[in-house]
Amino acid sequence: MNYISQKLSIKEKIGYSLGDLAANLVFQTLMTYLAYFYTDIYGLSPTHSSIIMLVVGLIAAFIFNPIIGVLADRTSTKWGKFRPWILITAIPLGAIALLAFTTPDFSYQGKVIYAVITYTLLLLFYASNNLPYSALSGVITGDMRERNSLSSYRFVAVMFAQFFVQVFMLGIIKSAGNGDKAIGIEKVMTALAIIGTIMLLITFLTTKERIIPKPEQKSSIKEDLSDLMKNKPWVIMLSLTTLVFITLAMKGGSYVYYFENYVNKEQLAIFIQPILEVLSNIGLNYFGNDPIAAGFGLFNAGGIIFMIVGITLSKSLADKYGKRNIFGLFLFISTLFIMAFYFFSSTSIRLIFFSQIFHGFFYGITIPILWAMIADVADYSEWLNNRRATAIIFSAMMVGLKAGLSIGGALTTLVLGYFHYKPNSLTQTETAINGIKLLVSIFPSIPFLVGAALLFFYKINKKMEVQIETDLKERRT
């Protein structure tokens, strides 16, 4: 391995983080609004929406990601292995993100076919862009403290994307379309496609690959897959990633239903009015006159702001106590505040908001650690096998991410259908309301709890992190 200076400038950290900001303008929109878009804007049934999200998502997870991982690891250009992928996919990803949220005037069958095609292409280009982007973090530096720092920069950027999508986007969609959500979401996605493309190009221009495999390092696909199967930390991280994103997709995609169909509109308006007045006095009038859109945005804002606070604590805690211990502890604590939602009445606005804030804070501590742990697994594989296969390890994690997103999103619409939810209905049955409550509380808590339990079997603790880093530095030097 070529081992040169591993310290990263602030410019490079920010440049790298913009790639995740761009990707999450797409990813957070998928996680927060795809189910809602298909059922309440595009006009598909919950059943058809569930099938599309699950089948296409699993194809992307188990076919697209491994193929991209194998190809990326075998890419060799003057720009490196992974940066060229970010460059060539920047424009296509933006274009297909726009098309996927467009509502053409087709027959119902035509709409289903259009949704299948655009969602498939979106996940293909997302994998082709985001998988090499994620793998890039494993070769920008081999210094684990710098890697923790890079992850913190990266996920602050993620939070900004999440903040926009979850706080402002519903209100902007309604405003941009003058009440027509189909027109509104097309206008919003057009702007996001342009902004995201520019950010990805900046990432390409400002980053550098420093960990370069020796020319004599050769391995077959069979050897790479064999290394994965022997890598128990990788198996655990694959399972953990899948479980985490099942929860994120399920609860993230359910909150909009929760606010539109369960939360008491009058009590919500009373609770948020002082906040809106303060924001208005300082010139922040982004929420319009719709208390549901405003309340939904402020609810998400509270969680995201405290997630960012949690992220700022993540590096120091991980450096001191090790990634595994901190991740498991705070994932468990954050889950308790998800479970609490089931017990809140529709008028318990204060408790609903406070539970979201505390969940956001404790979960925020875990956010950068997940991806830093995956980079550690790539180091562990190199340490164990004396071969580096960064992208295929990250591709496996992207399998978990996409599988989790697909399963969680499909479960959202499947549960809605099972509990007889009626899209765009002014009133829902008690059965449908109970299903919505379960979707934001009990159901998404289960994968988080199982994931926390899995970490008891993950052996890369603080002591082993130091040993791996030291040994690899010696080899690369």
Q: What is the DSSP string of 275-307?
A: HHHHHHHTT---STT-HHHHHHHHHHHHHHHHH
User: Looking at per-residue confidence, does 270 or 134 come out higher?
Assistant: 270
Averaged pLDDT, 366-378: 83
User: Looking at per-residue confidence, does 345 or 209 come out higher?
Assistant: 345
- CA atoms of 103 and 467, how far apart (whole Å): 54
What is the DSSP secondary structure assignment for residue 28, as one 8-state letter?
H
Per-residue pLDDT, 295:
92
- CA atoms of 131 and 153, how far apart (whole Å): 18
Q: Is the pLDDT of residue 217 over 70?
A: no
- CA atoms of 171 and 291, how far apart (whole Å): 10
- CA atoms of 86 and 75, how far apart (whole Å): 13
Per-residue pLDDT, 224:
65
**Tokens 């761009």 map to which residue?**
22
Q: pLDDT band at 12, cuts 50/70/90?
A: very high
**Tokens 């919505």 map to which residue?**
436
Task: Report the range out of 113-127, 303-317, 391-405 with the highest average pLDDT.
Answer: 113-127
Q: Is the pLDDT of residue 215 over 60?
A: no
CB environment 21-41: b (16+ within 10 A), e (fewer): bbbbbbbbbbbbbbbbbbbbb
Per-residue pLDDT, 2:
47
Q: Which of 225-234, 247-256, 324-333, 414-423 has the lowest mean pLDDT?
A: 225-234
Q: Which of 121-130, 195-204, 311-320, 408-417 has the lowest mean pLDDT?
A: 311-320
Q: pLDDT band at 72, cuts 50/70/90?
A: confident
Averaged pLDDT, 461-466: 79
User: Looking at per-residue confidence, does 157 or 225 come out higher?
Assistant: 157
Averaged pLDDT, 157-163: 84
Q: What is the mean pLDDT of the chain?
A: 87
Per-residue pLDDT, 3:
45
Averaged pLDDT, 282-289: 67
- CA atoms of 392 and 390, how far apart (whole Å): 6
**Tokens 């973090």 map to which residue?**
137
Averaged pLDDT, 242-250: 94
Per-residue pLDDT, 216:
43
Per-residue pLDDT, 344:
96
User: Looking at per-residue confidence, does 266 or 163 come out higher?
Assistant: 266
- Inter-axis angle of helices 390-418 and 221-230, nearest 10: 70
Averaged pLDDT, 323-342: 95
- CA atoms of 133 and 23, how far apart (whole Å): 9
- Comparing CA positions, the residue from 148, 385, 359 lying closest to residue 255 is 359
Q: Is the pLDDT of residue 214 over 80?
A: no
Per-residue pLDDT, 477:
67
- CA atoms of 436 and 249, how far apart (whole Å): 14
Q: Which of 33-47, 102-116, 280-294, 409-423 has the lowest mean pLDDT?
A: 280-294
Averaged pLDDT, 434-444: 96
Q: pLDDT band at 388, cuts 50/70/90?
A: low
| Residue 470: CB atoms within 10 Å | 9
- CA atoms of 81 and 172, how far apart (whole Å): 39
| Residue 279: CB atoms within 10 Å | 16
Averaged pLDDT, 298-324: 89
- CA atoms of 16 and 133, how far apart (whole Å): 9
**Tokens 């859109």 map to which residue?**
293
Task: Report the range out of 216-225, 267-276, 458-467 with the highest average pLDDT.
Answer: 267-276
